Amino acid sequence: MKKQIESAENSAHSNKLLQRKIAVITGATRGIGLEIAKTFGLNGADIIGISRNQNRYDSSRAFFDEHEIIFSYFQGDVTDPDRLREIALEIKRIYQRVNILVNNAGSASIRSGIKTMTVGEWKQVIDINLNSMFYVTSCMLPLLLNKPTYESASVINISSIAARIGTRKVAYTAAKAGVLGFTKGLAGSLAEDNIRVNAILPGAVSTDLTSGWSKSQRMDIEGKIPLGSIAEAAEIADAALFLALPLSRYITGQSLDVNGGWIMP
């Protein structure tokens, strides 16, 4: 099944729905994070991107310059709380507040199965995919709270379909399932502050990380998806946009599955 996916700049993103909003996005220079940054930016948000790789930012900045999107880049590792505190202080100096936080950075690159995984590898996977969300959120929380009480803020945590179906990457599966628990606990804790917290669970997504899949691999996965195709990163970004907007003002503590019907919990 073929589908028409509008690129961020050609979709219905001209209403500046996030005008005057400040959005912090981790892992903002590739894949889903980059597409979220583009979508939010085209909707009027000022983007603060955090990633480890300066080169990826350099290669993507032309889009933001072309569309006159304010993109402030900070190089940093989301597993380094000291660096994150430095970044938060700089954001406070420049912007004083944050309206939207997208905890997107993560990695499934360690492929060791449970029979061969070392303690060090386990800790590394949990740190980048789960602990990092606590590190980032705790550093950005004072900025999320620094808003009029009548205004809401939104935290969006990117989990994975792996949290629903399980994979042979046991540590990754455990971390992404942990994100759902973190999301619920955080939502309950911050509701009184008018901060909503939700998670997105993407299924298979076409990014540079999946570009190496063979034709047979793609066909096998697409055969499991009722809508018949692997998602584009823009489709995940649109889900994030919905959760960032007042349209979702009565939604918190929820996990939004964006997988084409691959799994229907």
Give the type of residue at 219.
M
Task: Name the residue among 81, 76, 21 with its Cα closest to residue 51.
Answer: 76
**How far is it, in rounded angstroms, from Cα 263 to Cα 251?**
21
The candidate with the shortest Cα–Cα distance to 246, out of 99, 110, 140, is 99
| Cα gap 238→108, rounded to integer Å | 23
Residue 220 neighbours by CB under 8 Å, 6+ apart = none
Q: Which of 135, 150, 172, 250 is catalytic?
A: 172
Crossing angle of helices 170-190 and 119-126, in 10° steps, is 40
Task: Write out the DSSP string of 28-45.
Answer: TTSHHHHHHHHHHHHTTP
**Per DSSP, what are the bridge partners of residue 258?**
202
Residue 135 annotated in active site: no
SS3 51: strand
Q: Give the span between the Cα atoms of 102 and 89, in whole angstroms.
A: 18
Residue type for position 73: Y
Distance CA 12, CA 23 (A): 19
Q: Residue 169: phi, psi to the nearest 5?
A: -85, 80
Listing DSSP states for 98-118 in one string gives: -SEEEE----------TTT--
The residues that are catalytic are 172
